[in-house]
Chains A and B, each alone.
Chain A
Amino acid sequence: MAWTKQILRVNLTNGDVSVEPLNMGWAQEYLGQRGLATRYFVAEVDPTVDALGPDNKLIMATGPLTGTMASTGGRYSVITKSPLTGTIACSNSGGFIGAALKNAGWDMIIFEGKAPSPVYLYVEDDKVEILPADDLWGKSVWEADELIHKKHQDPQIRISCVGRAAESGCLFSAIVNDLHRAAGRSGVGTVMASKNLKAVAVRGTKGVGNIKDPIRFMREVTAQKKVLADNAVTGQGLPTYGTQVLMNVINEMGALPTRNMREVKFEGAHSVSGEAMHEKRKTDGKPNLTRNAGCFGCTIACGRISTVDQGHFSVANKPEYWGNSGGLEYEAAWALGPDTGVDDLDALTYVNFLCNEDGFDPISYGSTVAAAMELYDMGVITKEDTGGIELTFGSAEALVKVTELTAKGEGFGKILGLGSKRMCEKYGHPELSMTVKGQEFPAYDPRGIQGMGLTYATSNRGACHLRSYTVASEVLGIPVKTDPLETDGKPELVIAFQDATAAVDSSGLCLFTTFAWSLENIAPQIDAACEGDWSVEKCAEVGARIWNLERDFNMRAGLTGADDTLPKRLLKDAANVGPAQGKVAGLDLMLPKYYELRGWTTDGQLTDETRSRYRLPA
């Protein structure tokens, strides 16, 4: 359905649950999900709030197309202030719970306060209960999911849950839904656990409604599904090889960050690639990849379902890990693999299982392990720190051991749970943290893909590829090919991607549709479903408004233009091989132009004119 026009407010401190009408004035300006929830958040939360204190709030929000028959219309987002970055956090997830929440009749849930003891929220259409979760606390996501399903005797309940990592304060904890999809980045799970909120369980049965023009909507949706099916990327490439097909592409370009971004090519990339996932293992004759998988309403189905060889050292004598589960996606495979120097596909798959099972972001985690390995390499971290683990680059055994500790928040895992920035500061080497605004990099070296340097530096949630995925243009030629080694034109490219992405993230649709769709394909679907005029131009304007609103929150939280930077390693140390050999990230060549085009001051502050243009709150 489009907007249900009602939201839930859950006060965890006193147990009050109230129903409010959706602010439709804001919906016209911010659409839904990422944008609309951020508008609520900005109105209600002091930007300087302690992210892990009871005054921080956490919003789970759907978009107007979530739960509809639009392809990929199953997304929801979690908006809060991040304990990892101190910025606005917005983490987006697929799976099925977004659609369940919409089908239960809710556009969003605003959680405030902190429960005196562990609880979970149970939503069955209009019935909303805060229930005790003492028996769930201390359990993994997978265990808690099973217990909740058994308790309610309903297999159709959809569950978002935090694991033991979040409970123990790991700063990059995720909120995992449907067992292996996640609102993964920026520590949104850590905030949820800080509120003693273990899980949100939703059963929605109300179905679809509130579509402005149902016949036009069905016509638009059908036409746009055909575009996805006919496109070689969304119709064939993604379902067959998933995102992991990028491993060899990015390595071949010399833009695959390796061993904590010291190098840009990984000799073991092929062993942990999408192609390798299809190859039969010598040990048991089976491939790592079992099948692909799709989220609610998705006609692409890029997800990976994998197994680990039962004889592999990581799972030998652990039959609970012998079955199928969520397999490696590119970003996770990179952080756990090339960035740590580990080329053991089954080890990475097992470690990825643990990230899902206990809810922590594999990108931030792998990147933090990589920094720890460099510190170990330098002799700064020793076996005394790690509890006897030889934390050398390339050691699959060490990676597995420290992951098991991090999942439970034990031993050296507690240190890794600080994230790369705080851990490197603790050991006196902040320069080794490959982060922006405290969040770890994803899998593209900005020395070889220049637009990604500007993307990382200006991302409103710290280093992130999903805020403006210029890789699509610079590497894949979507919508047009640009030179990855060139800085000219990149400020314009980054802004176009940032604004369009903010609009897509606010609609309920998946960003991956944009490998085939542009706003020209998306706006007509929104327009047919939602009240108001939703032209391409309006969607782009809404995207720009959201971007500026997020930026405004961050500035009020105490960040400045000086935070729009990259680690010295990327700005000073040139790539050592490949097409980018001799190049550094040319951020200084792009950032001033970016500020100018955004209508910000030369030091990155919003101007009154820009605020007024986007009608931002005072």
Chain B
Amino acid sequence: MNITLKLYANLSGLLPARAQRNAAEVEVADNASLNTVIDQFKVPRESAHLVLLNGVFVCHEDRDRPGRLQAGDVLAIWPPVAGG
């Protein structure tokens, strides 16, 4: 299935070359967990700090669970960052 993957800050270089504005449509396995996708795109697990699925935070414990991802979902990932 296809999802939109967004990688930000110093993770942006891990996106496929065709990516624009930190986002690319990518193909992932139908039963992929979030960590499957994180590993597929070589995002170091410790750098997958802020993980938002359709804008909602997914905690570490839930990232191995298959079935969360649906076709058309938006998965956005940041390393540890802050602002204010």
Contact = CB atoms under 8 A, between A and B. Distances in A.
Interface string B60-79: 00000000000000101011
Interface residues of A, number: 41
A511 B8 CA distance: 25
A232 B49 CA distance: 10
A242 interface: yes
B84 A275 contact: no
Nearest to B54: A579
A240 B9 contact: yes
Given A240-B9, A240-B10, A275-B22, A579 B81 contact: no
6 contacts: A232-B79, A241-B9, A248-B6, A476-B82, A481-B59, A515-B82
Interface in A426-482: 465-466, 469, 471-472, 475-478, 481
Interface of B: 6, 8-10, 12, 21-22, 49-50, 52, 54-57, 59, 74, 76, 78-84
Contacts, number: 94
A512 interface: yes
Given A237-B9, A252-B76, A579-B54, A244 B82 contact: no
Nearest to A234: B82
Interface string A237-269: 110111111101100111000000000000000
Interface of A: 231-234, 236-238, 240-246, 248-249, 252-254, 270, 274-275, 330-331, 465-466, 469, 471-472, 475-478, 481, 483-484, 511-512, 515, 578-579
Contacts of B84: 243, 246, 330-331, 465-466, 469, 471-472, 511-512
Contacts of B8: 245, 248-249, 275
Contact of B81 (A233, A252, A481, A578): A233
A562 to B, nearest CB: 29
Given A232-B49, A275-B22, A476-B50, A252 B6 contact: yes
Contacts of B6: 248, 252
B69 to A, nearest CB: 16
Contact of B83 (A231, A243, A270, A477): A243
Main secondary structure of the interface of A (DSSP, over half): helix
B9 A254 contact: no
Contacts of B79: 232, 236-237
B81 to A, nearest CB: 4
A238 B82 contact: yes
A250 to B, nearest CB: 9
Contacts of A252: 6, 52, 55, 74, 76
Contacts of A248: 6, 8, 22, 76
Contacts of A245: 8-9, 78, 81-83
